[in-house]
Copies of this chain bind each other. A is one copy, B any other.
Amino acid sequence: MFTHAEENYLKAIFHLEQETQGEVSTNAIAEQMETKPSSVTDMVQKLADKELLSYKKYKGALLTQTGRKKAADVIRKHRLWEVFLVDKLNFHWDEVHPIAEQLEHIQSAELIERLDRFLGSPDFDPHGDPIPDQHGNIKRTEKKLLSELQKGQRGVCVGVKESSSDFLQYLDRKKITIGTKIHVLGKEFFDGSMILRVRDQQFFISKKTSENLFVQIQES
């Protein structure tokens, strides 16, 4: 139905739409896809011809309903495969993304339906990202960046914003993972760094770290 390249573009544009809340620029797509803007223009025009997105020259791209559904399908597959890799094959959460990047392109509705059942219809992938359902709907949960918490607040880690290997391995060394309870003991105005209490231990974390960890606030 669609090529790998087309699917990767749709996915990238889908993610960028969340951030920009509107038309996505050629340069933004190029950066995300690690290609040149001229290549993006070509592909965006092709996807517009296929009515997967609307596009006016110099005005950026916006997915159509069809395009958004297709993008959600790819993301659903990506995240389900990540769950498979971690839960069933015991991969580490920092290793699965590049493999899922390939597996997300396997074409078979039956396969993904059975995989979903096999995995127990999970709601989230190993990085805490929600898995779209068959209809492309994504469960939005209340989550905030750790950096938004104030001194004294408590939260549970529910996901990561960046999921680079470096960051995930850093979290591992600090024994922070999905489900870890965090108590903000202090926050430095100067550089945005924080002091946390995690499992009766004190941690110092940088602003960069706190801006890449999603938490659900615990009322206390």
Interface residues of A (CB under 8 A from B): 85, 88-91, 95, 98-99, 102-103, 106-108, 110-111, 114-115, 118
Query: Nearest chain B CB to A111's CB is how many angstroms away?
Result: 6
Looking across the interface, which residue of chain B has its beta carbon closest to that of A4? B4
Q: For residue A85, which residues in chain B have a CB less than 8 angstroms away from its CB? A: 111
Query: Nearest chain B CB to A122's CB is how many angstroms away?
Result: 15
Q: For residue A107, which residues in chain B have a CB less than 8 angstroms away from its CB? A: 102
Q: List 19 A-B contacts (CB under 8 A).
A: A85-B111, A88-B118, A89-B111, A89-B114, A89-B115, A89-B118, A90-B114, A91-B110, A91-B114, A95-B110, A98-B108, A99-B106, A99-B108, A99-B111, A102-B106, A102-B107, A102-B108, A103-B103, A103-B106
Please give the count of copies of this chain that the complex contains.
2
Q: For residue A99, which residues in chain B have a CB less than 8 angstroms away from its CB? A: 106, 108, 111
Looking across the interface, which residue of chain B has its beta carbon closest to that of A95? B110
Looking across the interface, which residue of chain B has its beta carbon closest to that of A89? B114
Looking across the interface, which residue of chain B has its beta carbon closest to that of A107? B102
Q: What separation, in Å, do the CA atoms of A107 and B4 have in the docked complex?
A: 15
Q: For residue A115, which residues in chain B have a CB less than 8 angstroms away from its CB? A: 89
Looking across the interface, which residue of chain B has its beta carbon closest to that of A85? B111
Q: For residue A110, which residues in chain B have a CB less than 8 angstroms away from its CB? A: 91, 95
